[in-house]
Chain A
Amino acid sequence: MNNISFSLCQGGILLLRGANGAGKSSLLRALAGLTPLATGDLSWNNLPALTDREAHAARIGWLGHQDAVKPALTPAEQVPEAGLALVGLEKFAHLPSRFLSAGQKRRLALARVAVAEKPLWLLDEPTTGLDSASIQQFLGLCEAQRWRGGMIIASTHTPIELPDTQVLTL
């Protein structure tokens, strides 16, 4: 990836689009500080963001390509109960996560991001495996994040129907 430049204000949402292998996930990992930037820099409030990786990490709500859900643990052991309520998983709170469907695991991963209330969400294909009702629930979470003044950068193949979003095509 070359010549990528963008800025995001409080409440901003940036959607990353592009074909498979275009570098959407790599860009998200670089923004999180998981993968080093070959050149260029990343700023937060006009200060270098990646000089203190732990401090930068503390700003980020991360949803990767994988759900990071442990099958042997229950949802309540992985996400606070308030987070489960955000995605409608309260009734599965004490069921081992191996019994959850792929969509429910994705919702659990989204709940982990939402409940942490970090200022920047980096989401890699957040709607994968979600049904239409769950996508609406996800859009509500995005609106709440925006209302708090948080920012979202998400890679997605499917359209996300939120007003005032920027789109970066890779």
Chain B
Amino acid sequence: MMGFIARELRLSIRHGAESIAALLFFVIAGTLFALGAGPDPLVLSRIAPGVVWVTALLAALLPLERLFGPDFEDGTLDLLLLSGWPAYAIATAKTIVHWLTTGLPLLIIAGPLAVMLRLPGEKLPLLLLTLLPGTLIFSLLGTLAAALATGARRGAILMPLITLPLMIPSLIFGTAAATSLHPAAPLYMLFAMLLAALPLAPLGTGLALRAAAE
């Protein structure tokens, strides 16, 4: 399985444009919010956590179309399902690769973006703490949505329509934890959602991949 993850990472690096596009989108969209909201530091600092969360969510969607699409078209998906690994293990590996190539870079860039949006320094660790489970949830649910859209006509249109509603709860609790004076409860909820998604999303993704191959 580690060999498969390494191979997928190598492929992602060689098709680096998708990950780079997601990161550029994250930075540009965040900057546009800052330009649109005006230069008032109070306004910017108030909206910063929400802006970072929403733009990170949208940026994480961008590479999803290529997560299973090329594998479905070139026959690799059949090979993966006949590799002898359970389908949920393949889904888990794909989720890990998505997080390493998209979620983790978003998490790293979120800090400078939040500072640019005038988020007070003392609130930055909390924002990043919420984004850690947040980006993992994006990858888990995004992989599930990508698998559900695999093989469907107009899957690129279908995918955000599946993904965005699934991610609304994590967005609500994530921004609540990042902005609240008492962040413990929404943070616990966010981690509880991650704990629920960790086993369930790969199982659902595996079933969706089997259905796509049929």
Question: Contact residues of A with B, CB < 8 Å?
Answer: 29, 32-36, 54-55, 57-58, 60, 62, 64-70, 72-73, 77, 112
Contact = CB atoms under 8 A, between A and B. Distances in A.
Contacts, number: 53
B74 interface: yes
Given A35-B214, A67-B75, A57 B82 contact: yes
Interface of B: 7, 10-11, 14-15, 73-76, 78-79, 81-86, 213-214
Contacts of A35: 213-214
B75 A66 contact: yes
Nearest to B77: A68
Given A35-B214, A73-B10, A73-B11, A62 B74 contact: no
B7 A62 contact: no
Given A65-B75, A68-B78, A72-B14, A57 B84 contact: yes
B11 A62 contact: no
Given A35-B214, A73-B10, A66 B85 contact: no
Contact of B81 (A57, A67, A70): A57
Contacts of A34: 78, 81-82, 213-214
Given A35-B214, A73-B7, 6 more contacts: A34-B213, A54-B85, A57-B83, A66-B73, A66-B74, A72-B14
Nearest to A122: B82
23 contacts: A29-B78, A32-B82, A33-B82, A34-B81, A34-B82, A35-B213, A35-B214, A55-B84, A57-B82, A58-B84, A62-B82, A64-B75, A64-B79, A66-B74, A66-B75, A68-B75, A70-B11, A70-B76, A73-B7, A73-B11, A77-B7, A77-B10, A112-B79
Given A73-B11, A77-B10, A68 B79 contact: yes
A155 to B, nearest CB: 15
B120 to A, nearest CB: 43
Nearest to A57: B82
A98 to B, nearest CB: 10
B94 to A, nearest CB: 15
B24 to A, nearest CB: 21
Most chain A CB within 10 A, of B7, B81, B82, is at B82
Contacts of A70: 11, 74, 76
Contacts of B73: 66
Given A72-B11, A73-B10, A62 B78 contact: yes
Most chain A CB within 10 A, of B15, B79, B86, is at B79
Contacts of A29: 78
A58 B11 CA distance: 25
A62 B214 contact: no
Contacts of A69: 74
A29 B210 CA distance: 12
A34 B78 CA distance: 7
Contact of A60 (B82, B86, B214): B82
Contacts of B78: 29, 32, 34, 62, 64, 68
Contacts of A54: 84-86
Contacts of B74: 66-70
A8 B14 CA distance: 43
Nearest to A55: B84
Nearest to A67: B75
